Amino acid sequence: MILKRPIYEIENISFDNNDLMVNETVFHNANGYIGVRSNYEEGYPEGFDTIRGSYVNGFYDIADMRQAEKLFGLVEDKQTMLNVADSQTIHLIIDGETFSLFEGSAISSKRWLDMEQGITGRSIVWCSPAGKQVEIVIKRMTSFYQLSLFTIEYSVKALNFKGKIEFLSYHYGEVSNYSNENDPRVAKESGKYLIPTQALIEDGASYLTSQTSKSGLSVCSGVQHKVSKNSSINTKIKEHSAITMIETFIDENETLTLTKYTVFSDSIRQKDCMANAKSEMEKALEVSIEALYEAQREYLKDYWENCLLEIKGDDDLTEAVNYNMYQLIQSVGKDEYCNIAAKGLSGEGYEGHYFWDTEMYIEPFFNLTEPAITKNLIGFRHNTMEQARENAKILGHKKGVLFPWRTIMGTECSGYFPSGTAGYHINGDIAYSVISYYLATKDLDFIADKGAEIIFETARLWMDVGNYYNGSFRINEVTGPDEYTCMVNNNYYTNVSAQYNLRWAVKFYELLKVANKVTMVANRIGLSETEIKEFNEAATCMFLPYDESLKINPQDDSFLTKKVWDLKNTPKDHFPLLLHYHPLHLYRHQVCKQADTVLAHFIFEDAQSMDTIRNSFAYYEKVTTHDSSLSTCIFSIVASKLGMEEKAYDYLGDSAKLDLFNTHKNTKDGIHTANMGGNFMAIVYGFAGLRIKENGIYFAPAIPKVWEEYRFQINYEDSQIKVEVNAKESIFTLVKGSLKQIKVFGNDYELQNRITIPNKH
């Protein structure tokens, strides 16, 4: 090991309200099924803002989305992720004095995240107004071993007294979502989505069941307590909430521990969520909390071995990158009933919706580390194809599927269609993810089962939305990745992704045909060989904008005709631009929110020469604000490709530290999961030059001057490969699996055990 996984911690906690809300996000607990924000158990004083939430991935209700004009096909309702319960609240009372960091005095305070143990913690030495001193240590875990389970282990040590200790532990079933009418990234309204249906106490545990107001879903949460010494425990139900009163005595220097178990269950996955919650509680209580912690450690040990990525010589960046990889496994869904939201399960930003972020920024990480998770994510898209097919019909298409720009259960949730539904490139992104999974695994059975249907149906959509003009195939009135430029003709990224989609539809048809697997797929969707020929012709004739004078790919047909935005003289407090300028004003300028054509030059690099890519990068760098968290990681990758390691390093640093340093000033609403996947890509696809193509796996390693070395481990087909890079050489090791042919700096090598290759300078 070069470096041990760091424990991220902060001491002497700030009481600033905004800092507290950021820490609610940064120290949240999640496991892909449930997520719990890291609110203080004892709460904040009246008047403080907080987002106190617990979430279930894929669980939603329907909210109204009023349109100014009732036009055909405009979305009039949306799904929104719900805050389902509050089991965090615990009040500690010491001889009549209630613990609060805002009263008495904190002699010391610390918060931490242990990414090897899979827990977060708070430790406080507190002196009450009357002078009683206690040491409080609180550990939290959302279990990877038992996805339904969230635990709080609350320990109190009496330092200078003995006396009565009371815990008041709450289980609230009537909760609401956070809202902010001034921020388009969170909901404007906080409606009452959950209707209480059942509350009971059984074997000392409280169970609260609620039903959503419109979607017809149910959720149940169960809470049980264990105390380390004999105590009086009394639980009561009141107005769809439960309060548990625990009383005992503590001696000086004695430590008393309360362990609070919460389980969640929902009707998307279970027929009877109350019965399932009881079963899950029984399972949780069968083993000790120590055994649950051990199972957490074992899960993460395997995870870190699969996604080894370490940097020597840059401790801050190492800490940030490790934090980001940990958040990805916390956030990603572990079944086909859900996906990964833009904010994971850490907060309510973007209302828990799934975007193209999954396919273009997160699946590349899991393809190389945990490909079974990628299968689940693609499986979710396959499960929602009927909704995508209906969405295509609403948009006027006779064939194919159009996946929604933002969604939870498969229907469109984007109210502002110019920078939402018009983003047709999401079809190409999802197709790209299927192709990338296949190239990394060669899992043709999965392609036959689910992947090919996605590829063929998205290809059909391109044939319907596009048309031939002067011998070339063109795609009009769409929006590319850059949301400051909407509703354009021939967005380069969209067209080249459609071309890639269409070409691979032809390739998969031939691969499945050779494997005698194509008939089943073709019969299922009525696919003909005539369509395959049409796909091939459209791909061959695809129009890709190119400007002869600048020798770049214009972002679209009209981009270069617009006035260039004066970024240098734009006030710093006017960023992000979308919060300070009308969309139409932005659309009339050459200004990019994020990587668009530059992203295409990374993803579809073989479509253009290196000179064109270099010219385009230089051009778009001058007009891009990076107001989106999806941007700087992509500029880092392309800078690496062009041999600009120091510039690539600067872009990576800005990207990697986004949440830990709250650089976009909105971490309180949740983490930026896509950016976190992008950090991994910026190192592995950027500095190491990794590419997986039809004819094999490629590397072109480079290293920033400030690093001594870096290393990572990836899965490729049936093998695991470790790569170590320093200033002089790159070392490739076959950790396990069959020998592999690899290409390094364009040269072929056979990797049987270990090879060392001098770096290019």
- Alpha helices in 412-528, H assignment, sequence order: 425-441, 444-446, 452-465, 492-514, 518-525
Report the alpha-carbon distance of residue 191 to residue 187 in Å, rounded: 10
SS3 330: helix
Pairing verdict, β 149-158 and 133-142: antiparallel
Q: Which residues of 669-694 are buried (b: 16+ CB within 10 A; e: fewer)?
A: bbbbbbbbbbbbbbbbbbbbbbbbee
Report the alpha-carbon distance of residue 4 to residue 189 in Å, rounded: 44
Are residues 595 and 623 in contact, defined by beta-carbon separation less than 8 angstroms?
A: no
**CA dihedral sign, ordered 381, 386, 390, 396:** positive
> For 372, phi and psi rounded to 5 degrees?
-65, -30
Structure tokens, 704: 């920033």
Report the alpha-carbon distance of residue 40 to residue 59 in Å, rounded: 25
Pairing verdict, β 696-699 and 740-744: parallel
Write out the catalytic residue numbers: 483
- Please report, for residues 203, 236, 273, 697, the alpha-carbon distance to residue 276 in angstroms, rounded to integers and kept in the order given: 15, 22, 5, 45
- Please report, for residues 4, 8, 424, the alpha-carbon distance to residue 112 in angstroms, rounded to integers and kept in the order given: 16, 6, 42
- Nearest to 337, CA basis, from 274, 384, 372, 370: 384
Report the alpha-carbon distance of residue 736 to residue 163 in Å, rounded: 59
Residues 6+ apart with CB under 8 A from 378: 363, 430, 433, 434, 437, 446, 450, 451, 454
Report the alpha-carbon distance of residue 493 to residue 424 in Å, rounded: 10
Report the alpha-carbon distance of residue 167 to residue 284 in Å, rounded: 22
Pairing verdict, β 747-751 and 77-81: unpaired
Element (H, E) at 327: helix 315-331
Report the alpha-carbon distance of residue 279 to residue 283 in Å, rounded: 6
Are residues 120 and 154 in contact, defined by beta-carbon separation less than 8 angstroms?
A: no
Q: What is the 3-state secondary structure (H, E, C) of 271-320?
A: CCHHHHHHHHHHHHHCCCHHHHHHHHHHHHHHHHHHCCEEEECCHHHHHH
SS3 490: coil
Pairing verdict, β 105-114 and 119-127: antiparallel
SS3 556: coil
